[in-house]
Amino acid sequence: MDKMILIDLETQDFSVHSGIYEVACLVVEDYEIVDQLYLGNEIQNYKGEKRYGFGFYDISEDEKYINLFKNFLKKYPYPIVAHNCPFDKKFLVHYEWIPEDYPTYCSMRAIRMEDNTLGSYALQNLVNHYKVSAEVQHTAMSDIKNVYEILRIVRPQTWLTVGAKFKNKNYPNHIKARALENIDLDIETTDILHDEVVCFTGKSDYPRNTMQEIAIKNGAEISNNITSKTTMLVVGLDAGSKLDKAQQKDISIISDEEFMNILNLKNKNIGA
């Protein structure tokens, strides 16, 4: 894809109702930045780290910022690319910054399809792997510039629109999780997730059955669908209707990366 608008949002939470606090856009043509747009309304005298949108006012329904964004898209009617695009698109569509059918693509997915050998495709791991930056700051402009630098290096050849089906033969999701006594993953058995009923949605760095077995090894029960008993939804890439249902039921929602952090398994080689 030789023309795109790279976008990053800071939203403070998984739920669309949390709002939009920062928006950064880079117009990229042939992997060169030709224009950019930053939208954010900083809170004066705010004390604290300005990450994840904290320290900024909610601009999700502010006509001034919405019009600036829409005019920018009119000037550059290019596809939108974001690193976890289903997440960003959900916010942009919900607040009517873009229509549902606006062409959107996920850079995380494109990079994974170009090189499927990496352990994680979270932005922090990618900036470390490609030596782009020492850390991810979780501010809109900084994060999207990191995505740009990574894409300049990788230059993915395959781009699928958000929602397009793609089967990863290496990570089939139809295999059922084993019972606790049969699980031989190289991780400790704990009760960290005791009393939790965990459901998984979206694509992660491990196959679905392995993620479920990790949860079981840490004391959880597994739910294949959102039910009245579900207490936690773990969200990967291309999350679908389960995310909507979890939000409606006020179920705890965390990313797959956060899930691994909670269990002290980040960057650990999980194997039988």
Q: Which residues lie across from 28 on neighbouring strands?
A: 4, 33
Rounded average pLDDT over 150-160? 92
Tell me the residue length of the chain: 272
Q: Which residue has the higher pLDDT, 250 or 210?
A: 210
pLDDT tier at 72, thresholds 50, 70, 90: very high
Query: Who has greater pLDDT, 164 or 71?
Result: 71
The pLDDT tens digits for 35-52 are 999 999 999 999 888 888
The pTM of the full predicted model, rounded to 2 decimals, is 0.66
pLDDT in tens, 203-249: 887 888 899 999 999 999 999 999 999 999 998 876 677 877 887 78
Task: Reduce the DSSP state of residue 263 to 3 states and report it.
Answer: coil
Summary mean pLDDT of the chain? 87
Kindly state the tokens that stand for 95.
């607040």
7-35: per-residue pLDDT in tens? 999 998 777 888 999 999 999 999 999 99
Query: Measured between alpha carbons, how far is 51 from 137 in angstroms, rounded to an integer?
Result: 7
> pLDDT tens for residues 114-149?
887 776 677 888 888 899 887 788 899 999 999 999
* pLDDT score for 119: 61
Q: 3-state class of 9 per DSSP? A: strand
**Residue 44 falls in which region: left (phi positive, over 0), alpha (psi -120 to 50) or beta:** beta
Lowest mean pLDDT among 2-6, 43-47, 162-166: 162-166
Q: What is the pLDDT of residues 82-101, one digit of tens each?
A: 988 888 998 999 999 999 99
In DSSP notation, 165-228 reads: ----TTS-S-SPPPPGGG---SS----TTTT-EEEEESB-SS-HHHHHHHHHHTT-EE-SS--T
- pLDDT value of position 244: 74
